[in-house]
Amino acid sequence: MTADVRVLVVDDDFRVAGIHHDLVSARPGFEALPSVRDIASARTAIRDWRPELLLVDVYLPDGDGIELARESGLDRFVLSAANDAATVRRALRSGALHYLVKPFEARTLQERLDGYLRYRNLLAVESPLAQDTIDRALGVLHGAAPTSSRSGTQQLILDALADGGEASSVEVAERAGVSRATAQRHLAELAARGAVTVSLRYGSAGRPEHRYRSGSS
CATH number of 61's domain: 3.40.50.2300
Q: Are residues 90 and 154 in the same domain?
A: no
Q: Running DSSP on this structure, what letter comes out for residue 28?
A: T
The answer, as to whether pTM is greater than 0.75, is no
Binned at pLDDT 50, 70 and 90, residue 198 comes out as confident
Q: What percent of the chain has pLDDT over 70?
A: 91
The enclosing domain of 175 has a CATH number of: 1.10.10.10
pLDDT in tens, 1-19: 468 999 999 999 999 999 9
Number of domains, the chain: 2
Q: Are residues 25 and 62 in the same domain?
A: yes
Q: Is the peptide bond before 208 cis (omega within 30 degrees of 0)?
A: no
Average pLDDT over residues 144-172: 72
Going by their DSSP bridges, the two strands 5-10 and 53-56 should be labelled as parallel
Whether the per-residue pLDDT at 88 is higher than 90: the answer is yes
CA nearest to 7, candidates 67, 50, 63, 66: 50
Q: Are residues 131 and 97 in the same domain?
A: no
Domain residue limits at 132: 114-214
Whether the per-residue pLDDT at 162 is higher than 60: the answer is yes
Q: Which residues, in sequence order, are bridge partners of residue 166? A: none
The predicted pLDDT at position 150 comes to 52
The DSSP H or E segment spanning 140 is: helix 131-142
What are the residues whose beta carbons fall under 8 Å from the beta carbon of 40, sequence distance 6 or more? 62
The C-alpha atoms of residue 91 and residue 130 are separated, in whole angstroms, by 29
Averaged pLDDT of the chain: 87
Going by their DSSP bridges, the two strands 75-80 and 53-56 should be labelled as parallel
The predicted pLDDT at position 149 comes to 42
Q: Rounding to the nearest 10 degrees, give the CA dihedral for residues 5, 171, 168, 217.
A: 140
For residues 26 and 73, the answer to whether their CB atoms sit within 8 Å is: no
Question: First-to-last CA distance in the chain?
Answer: 27
